[in-house]
Structure 1
Amino acid sequence: MTEADHANLDSFLGFGARRGRTHLLRLALLAAAVVALLMLLVRFLGGSDLPYYTALVEQGTITPMVAERGTVHGSGEVALAAALDGTVTAEGVPAGGKVAKGQVLATIDAEPLRSTLAADRALVTAAEADLAAARTARDEASGKLARFEDVWRRSGHRVPAINELEGARADADRAGRAVSAAEARLAAARSSLEADSEKLAAAVVRAPFAGYVVERSIRTGQRVRMGMKLFTLAASDETLEIEIPLARAGNAVLEAGTVAQVRLDALPDAVQSATLARILTDRADAPGSRRAVFTLEKPVEAIRPGMAATVELPLPQRSNVLLVPDAALTFEPGNRATPSTGRSQPRIYLVSGDGEPRRVYVTVGAGDGKRTEVFASDLKPGVEVIVGWRNQPAQP
């Protein structure tokens, strides 16, 4: 039997149609398998078909870190205050700058004081003239009294009349008191002139010693009042310290000798080590009133008093606590453009059974810069917490 005969027989018995349908069925099953494989691959790579990223609430150990801002201080610090009211017309020494003794730190506009000095000089001139006139009057009254008394003695107390003699004595006494008053007025006028002259000289603020500017509290064009702090100077940089607040450390117990890292704004690549020297407390019953003073260990030569820095302080380790990524505390379902910050009460969002966010209010504990300790009555380890959106909308 030829191949043509076989084909005719298969066609007669219906085998050809069944073979075609089997082939199509195999192709369909293969296509379905490919689609399923692609879906599984996409799900595997994407991790979820939810519109947001999630992480697991963990129960573990954390070494909290506190980062606080501070300023490097040196030994022998002195605050310089304004000696007069005025407007700062020039200030050219920044914080951290080195200064020589007598170097000009700032200049204050003293034009109103110059007017006061002119008035002071006028008062001194007037007081000098009054004193000269009072002395002349005293001399005349004294001379007249001397003549009356001489005649009184030589006449045997007959002339001049007793009332004339007493009048001359009273005139001389008044003239003497007038001289004393004029001398007092002149002394006061001269004292005011001297004081205002010193203030005028203080309009140019100079460094009282060689050292470093720890803090500059003014800027050009600023109005200052007498007694206002202008600069803080350090006489030496032999011992460098930095002070930070401990409000965010809570009630954590810190021991002397605790080592922290110091990152200076001006030297970002020169990370320094610092040792806790002492804890300062303004009030024992005031929460957040503690401050920590650290001493820099072997500071590099480029570090100067007045430089701004960040102190990274490790706190005592905490174990068996619930931890969430920091991003979970800023996620907000209603705000896809930017994370939410500054909330009145901390919260996180868990993935509910239907895939929708479920809000849970929490109490925030310590953090290490990546994870934060949280407390909530219905929060358990292993649940999914939302940390961000998958498809961030384009910013306008």
Structure 2
Amino acid sequence: MKRTMTTVLAVVMAVMLIAGCSSKNNNGAAESAKPSESASKAPVAESKGEKPVELTFWGDWGGEGQKQFETMVDAFNKSQDRIRVKYALQQDMITKFLTAATSGGSPDILFWDRWRTSLYAPKNVLHPVDEYMKRDGINAADYFDESLKELSHNGKLYGLPLTVDARALFYNKKMFADAGLQPPTTWDEVAVAAKKLTKWNGDKLEVAGFSLNDVGLFNMYLQQAGGTMITDDGKTNFNNDKGQAVLNFWNKLLKEDKVYKVGFETGLGEGTDAFVTGKLAMHYTGPWMLSTYKKYGQELDFGIVPPPSGPNGDKGTIMGGFGLVIPEGSKNKEEAWEFVKWWMANKENMMLWAKTSLNIPPFKPALDDPFFKDDPLWQPFLQSLEFAKIRPQHPGYSVMEGDGLTPNLQLFMQGESDAASTLKKAQEQGDRLLSDNAEVK
């Protein structure tokens, strides 16, 4: 980025940033933030007495999330005097945004669940950022390809990614050590470890070896079996040997090895975490649970490994996450881009965000920071992100999965449908839903 401040102003702004910014360490304690290099590199001119441009930033994160956003907003506002951003918490944000997009009052920056892009970009309510990227020399290779793909539609990019996450396998290290087991790397090893670690007392399951609580992870397992959820021409792609392999694996664990019981985790009582209380040996979850689990110290001695591979060595996990987009209705698009770029195309600022929110930044240069490099618990997630895939971008995918596939998988887990019937019905219902929702309305 070009330097456009005077040397004196750069020094003043750096001092202000050091005084005003703070981040959180792993224990949630405040620590002094390093001066952001963008405070001296951002292309911001002196205001010369002119009133700053006011930007509105909409998001639906309240509580701690709101404080995290406000930390970044404050740091940006203190880094220059030409633009002022204000975070505005919104309930039912998407509905309000669509109304504002057609009637005026659109925000300038929008916190964005990336999977929505294929649904809303065709409505022309988002502003593409490709020209900004090219003009300012922002390198797309600095981001995870899948995160940019999820923010794209018809060859246009509609924002920059803010977070990335992926599921990995959490396991109880003490249980594994006591049983003489190593963390699993394949489905077969998962099955062996789960069976050995499961404890029944008569008909009562006391310790489950492996969680089968979330049928929504079918997509991840299907990748591990070497499959994909939908075809290139927009039809379901799981009623085949790959989908059968997933359900056969689930059936083995549930019915043959009896390492889990449907409803086990909910039956422990509201708010009870089976993994924390030692009633679950292994389960899939994401980096959002790290800070929670770390609080228990030696009471919960846990480890994490990338998702084990399927029967033919295929790897798979789902990449999720958020981004920031600029609405087409914004009256201050250039200034909005300055804020987005300052935050998500700068290592120091992305590290301020990472330490404040404990999210993995999609900006790869930030991942070389000791904050990630020196903490072994981050490594399985970073490894998983290298092969993680986003959900299919078909406009009807979420409806197909939620209304066509998931109900049939739940019937299978409850023993009310066999694998072949489950996949056949899910295909029939899923294909109809994909067809009905192929066009964005």
Higher helix share: 2
Rg bigger for which structure? 1
**Shared fold, TM over 0.5:** no
Q: TM-score, normalization: structure 1?
A: 0.20
Q: TM-score, normalization: structure 2?
A: 0.19
Higher strand share: 1
